[in-house]
């Protein structure tokens, strides 16, 4: 029962995150696209990323809502959060210009705070995968007394 509750809480946190960020990007679409176009690493892909990222985030959120697709949602959120975290890390360590393409409350975070925030959600996604996966437990070897 605890496992189910923990899984539900993790899925809910990820759903809130992805719906919030996806909708913020769509709400401020022109600003989001402009900020992406200023990023030194993804300037060439700003056009496609500006519409695909919110769609991907909302799709991942929908996968997490339903129990039949939740494991796929956890894997997708893990991959997405790894990519976001790697991007933040690369920007922090290899760029002089740090444009923020995040919306809402998240845009008020520093890049270092964003790295920690993303890392926490990477770990939550991984925990969701572990909790939902059918990994067989190692059987203990019993030694028979002589």
Q: Considering the domain boundaries, does residue 83 fall inside one?
A: yes
Cα(9)–Cα(108) distance, rounded to whole angstroms?
25
Of 12-16, 33-37, 40-44, 141-145, least confident by mean pLDDT is 141-145
Cα(102)–Cα(35) distance, rounded to whole angstroms?
9
pLDDT at position 138 is 43
Give the domain range for residue 117. 2-132
Considering its fold, how many domains does the chain have in total?
1
Q: Considering the domain boundaries, does residue 140 fall inside one?
A: no
Beta strands in the chain (DSSP E): none
Evaluate whether 56 touches 47 at the Cβ level (below 8 Å). no
Q: Considering the domain boundaries, does residue 141 fall inside one?
A: no
Of 41-45, 64-68, 112-116, least confident by mean pLDDT is 41-45
Cα(49)–Cα(47) distance, rounded to whole angstroms?
6
| pLDDT digits 0-9 by tens, 101-126 | 666 667 778 888 999 999 999 999 99
Q: What share of the chain is helix, strand, coil (3-state, %, to 5)?
A: 75, 0, 25
């Amino acid at each position: 029962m605890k496992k189910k509750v923990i899984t539900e809480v993790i899925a809910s946190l990820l759903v809130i995150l992805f719906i919030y960020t996806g909708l913020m990007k769509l709400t401020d679409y022109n600003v989001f696209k402009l900020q992406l176009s200023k990023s030194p690493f993804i300037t060439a892909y700003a056009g496609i990323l500006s519409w695909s990222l919110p769609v991907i985030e909302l799709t991942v959120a929908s996968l997490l809502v339903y129990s039949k697709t939740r494991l796929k949602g956890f894997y997708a959120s893990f991959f997405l959060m790894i990519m976001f975290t790697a991007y933040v890390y690369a920007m922090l360590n290899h760029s002089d210009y740090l444009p923020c393409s995040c919306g809402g409350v998240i845009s008020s975070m520093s890049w270092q705070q964003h790295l920690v925030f993303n890392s926490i959600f990477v770990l939550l996604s991984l925990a969701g995968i572990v909790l939902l996966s059918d990994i067989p437990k190692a059987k203990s070897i019993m030694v028979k007394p002589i």
